[in-house]
Structure 1
């Protein structure tokens, strides 16, 4: 099949299997009512035009006052909570004045008897009820190869000394239940693995296996591929470097350097030149933007070059030949100004200009904060070799550290990240040298607290003889050799480091990840998932995926582009990084295998440091979702992906 696309599967299940089928059965326009939870799930997966095409006339928020439409059918897509079902019941409490006509009720996850009993007692509602289904959508399908559970406080629950066993049990149960809906969406019944010695991940792996077994036993119609996938559980403390190292690919840099400086959530305001002057526009960084999807894992230096080349290509077209009339090639800004005068190029130019601005702004911050030297040294510390491939020497490293920590241009947060990387990778450094570096850095107390609290993840800023290096960062001779080879072949000195997770994923795909180091909960039978077994039975949903999950702008079906073999799902508890996400896409392309990365959340460096600061607080960091009050929505007024809601999400109905 062509490149699999989790987000497209979610869209298909929501738009076609739930909404379109219901609107067709209703023989007319329908009202769609979402609660807070399902609004965030659907907001960036769907556009209002998608809903309109499938018969939705109005989208409403369950929690807000709504206008009655007693002649129209309604689709309630809500979470199975007492609060939400009580609001639905209230819509029909007056039998003489019902809010809607026929009712189609979809829960995004399993509804227990307590919830169901609430609406069973409302006879006016039951008389109008035509559909009652559970939809497997208790996760956020952020990208074609990524999903999040949006559990922002998982890091606190895992590592805070004030976290209780009850809090941990609750987190693991919630993760397990949500992951069952993911596997149901993907028609997967995975073999489960975890790293030996990681007690929390072992408990989670066994809990998920139990819940998944229960789901399979209770759903006789559930069809999963006999060539079963693998689900690997990882926790953040297994690799403390990845959230700290500066990435130089487009997506990671935008979320690092522009976070809070114009970037809010997954949207950013930027100045745009128009015929009437400069205006402020909003860019939404999701897969509704094909150019963002294409460039997000590209080295930042290549992004601006790529965009410039596209603008030049536009100028060389028949309609753009006038741009060359002066006999010399214009620069990018001249091209943009000239192309704005050509109506047929305005939409394309708008998108190119948007990303030219974002890439330029990111590079501007990178340069202003003197992060090139920081990034280069981080790469050497993480890989054990310098940019020429020679093994690093501690005296040289310490001198470079001192110079960078004295640089007033480098923000304290970036100095803190560099210090943490030094401590993690240079565990043998004497205590006097550590103190000297901290003295030079002169970090404010709040930033220093973030570093000191890394002890709860196994990283100790002070030398403690009774505690061994919990990171396991000590590089093998083979890893040093590979890093040296990459250093001599890599085009960029700042792009040599690979997260630990990439190596583990690569070994799983090649069937050589040590089963002693990474045991199974239930060991597959001999011969199962053999790397030589290229033919696999395909379920109905996999056939759908093949039809709707291809790359944007590409419909190639050549054998070199076909994805084969069993799927790999990786779940990181405590937050995954954008370097790990970039690694997933690289492996998908190099191995032509479906790899999906999920996490309790995706970490941005600033938020990661803030989460470390509060580990010793009695309550975790409060995450305030951005959910504006929304009045009646009509297709002509607003698109869901333009509402400032939480990030994108997924959906899948039970067959």
Structure 2
């Protein structure tokens, strides 16, 4: 299962169906993101696509009568209305209209009636209603999905259902559906997806029944989104932020895509120290070939080398991008005292001693180097870990946080309501070890350290249960799941890049011949600590 390859094949087919001649590509906000994460604009332009524009653009488009028009949009009421208006006064010679999901007959009739000039040559459904960030990672960038009480908003539930159906049709899968028994949101989604599959049975009649769709909710594991990260992609998202594979550093917009960046592909799940070493190795190889002898002991040394030797930048532009990225990460780690903060986080989740954890958290919350975000994350982790400890100091810690963040008490209360011990069916914290986490320093490169982390995301346990066939906590709906070898995990409430790294590592083991299921992770959004806390603060 490779959603990125599938997206590229469908986009290529769209363009090929429109034939030769120059074309314009009309999209909406969401399909623009779908296309841009699957194909570089320059790559599409080589296929006779002359212009890119938005169907919902507020700026009037020029009429260019000799151009063909490829329209790729979601089948929403707004887009149907815009298309009806477009077809009544066509700006282009021919229209090839493609929808990202199932379109109803009433809307098709409206389009047919509007096409008085007979400019429509093709109407087709290409099931591609989510953004393929990686070959095994999919999202729809939908946040703020909950009402009071943490029930899914109706609009959010509908959008999530649509994205799941499109993903299944894109991969040509008719799944056995399992869901988290403790979540009413998951139960309702599983039932609604199952109903759609039965209702649209002709769309699924050629689909393979070799996959389990497992619908989970973030409430089962609220610890993972709160932790500082130390693998490359997850760390970038946590400390800088990634949106649709783009990250902004030093006033530059950088693309992080496994399609066009071999270094990133090879190092997505490498730890921070390894990244620095790998960059240093590449520069050292260039030095050797060019008979240059410069001592590189730090990220600053590497950045200066890149500036001084433009020929290196020319032949290895992607590496210079990662030098800038690692430099920014290193600066944030040092400025914000993240090595010590992450040690304390890991001590909490690895079942550290209560009094020792409390003392260290108090010291860090009062430390001026600790950011508001890091202070809040430490207190939330403490509250989750020691919620039922009779000697807990949750109220006292929240009181000290109010000087920093007026929403702290609301966030703490909400996270316990959403994912506290009474809401979880499994323990998220350690196995009884009270050993402090130790730092791992990478020799030979100053300023790029790493720490050993003991935390593992909860979905690791879920996947292990799936492999063993022990899925009693996840009721079955639909097809029998006794022989399925593939797994699609849908995380309601947002997934994390730590979980994506685990999924990637499992798929890599499978490719190397070690067995295990082929896994895809999909969700309504990609979380880091800031976005997770922001969502909790508005409830």
TM-score higher than 0.5 here? Answer: yes
Segment of structure 1 superposing worse, 45-54 or 438-447: 438-447
Q: Is the 8 A contact 2:63 2:91 kept in 1?
A: yes
Q: Is the 8 A contact 1:366 1:372 kept in 2?
A: yes
Residue 475 of structure 1 deviates from its aligned partner by 6.6
Identify which of 511, 519, 526 aligns with 2:468.
511
Counterpart in the other structure of 2:4: 7
Residue 330 of structure 1 deviates from its aligned partner by 5.1
Q: Give me the whole-angstrom Cα distance separating, in 1, the residues matched to 2:195 and 2:74.
A: 23
| Structure 1 pair 573–22 and aligned structure 2 pair: CA distance change class (3 A) | same
Q: Give me the whole-angstrom Cα distance separating, in 1, the residues matched to 2:27 and 2:455.
A: 43
Q: Is the 8 A contact 1:416 1:447 kept in 2?
A: yes
* Count of residue pairs brought into register by the alignment: 521
Highest relative contact order (Cα 8 Å, sep 6+), 1 or 2? 1
Q: How does 1:181-196 map to 2 (within 5 A)?
A: 181-196=166-181
Q: How does 1:124-273 map to 2 (within 5 A)?
A: 124-125=116-117, 127-154=118-145, 156-157=146-147, 160-161=148-149, 168-215=153-200, 217-219=201-203, 222-226=205-209, 228-259=210-241, 266-271=245-250
Q: How does 1:321-332 map to 2 (within 5 A)?
A: 321=291, 323-324=292-293, 329=295, 331=297
Counterpart in the other structure of 1:112: 104
Q: How does 1:401-416 map to 2 (within 5 A)?
A: 401-416=361-376
Q: Is the 8 A contact 1:336 1:349 kept in 2?
A: no
| Structure 1 pair 134–308 and aligned structure 2 pair: CA distance change class (3 A) | same
Q: How does 1:363-402 map to 2 (within 5 A)?
A: 363-384=330-351, 392-402=352-362
Q: Calculate the aligned-residue CA RMSD, in Å.
A: 2.9
| Structure 1 pair 297–29 and aligned structure 2 pair: CA distance change class (3 A) | same
Counterpart in the other structure of 2:514: none
Q: Give me the whole-angstrom Cα distance separating, in 2, the residues matched to 1:474 and 1:106.
A: 46
| Structure 1 pair 432–137 and aligned structure 2 pair: CA distance change class (3 A) | closer
Q: Is the 8 A contact 1:139 1:148 kept in 2?
A: yes
Residue 115 of structure 1 deviates from its aligned partner by 1.8
TM-score of the two chains, using structure 1 as the length reference: 0.73
Identify which of 244, 253, 256 aligns with 1:282.
253
Q: Give me the whole-angstrom Cα distance separating, in 1, the residues matched to 2:305 and 2:227.
A: 40
Q: Which of structures 1 and 2 has the bigger CA Rg?
A: 1
Residue 182 of structure 1 deviates from its aligned partner by 0.5
Q: Deviations over 1:78-118 (max 9, x none)?
A: 22234333433434435xxx422222111122222332232
Q: Give me the whole-angstrom Cα distance separating, in 1, the residues matched to 2:247 and 2:115.
A: 48
Q: How does 1:40-79 map to 2 (within 5 A)?
A: 40-64=33-57, 65-79=60-74
TM-score of the two chains, using structure 2 as the length reference: 0.88
Residue 255 of structure 1 deviates from its aligned partner by 1.8
| Structure 1 pair 435–197 and aligned structure 2 pair: CA distance change class (3 A) | closer
Q: Give me the whole-angstrom Cα distance separating, in 2, the residues matched to 1:142 and 1:589.
A: 17
Counterpart in the other structure of 2:92: 100
Q: Is the 8 A contact 2:398 2:408 kept in 1?
A: no
Q: Give me the whole-angstrom Cα distance separating, in 2, the residues matched to 1:410 and 1:265.
A: 29
Tell me if 1:470 matches 2:423. yes
| Structure 1 pair 111–522 and aligned structure 2 pair: CA distance change class (3 A) | closer
Q: Give me the whole-angstrom Cα distance separating, in 2, the residues matched to 1:361 and 1:400.
A: 27
DSSP-derived class of the 1:219 partner: helix
Q: Give me the whole-angstrom Cα distance separating, in 1, the residues matched to 2:417 and 2:286.
A: 54
Tell me if 1:579 matches 2:498. yes
DSSP-derived class of the 1:248 partner: coil
| Structure 1 pair 415–209 and aligned structure 2 pair: CA distance change class (3 A) | same
**Runs (5+) with no aligned partner, structure 1:** 272-279, 385-391, 460-467, 530-565, 616-655
Identify which of 17, 23, 34 aligns with 1:21.
17
Residue 41 of structure 1 deviates from its aligned partner by 2.2
Counterpart in the other structure of 1:357: 324
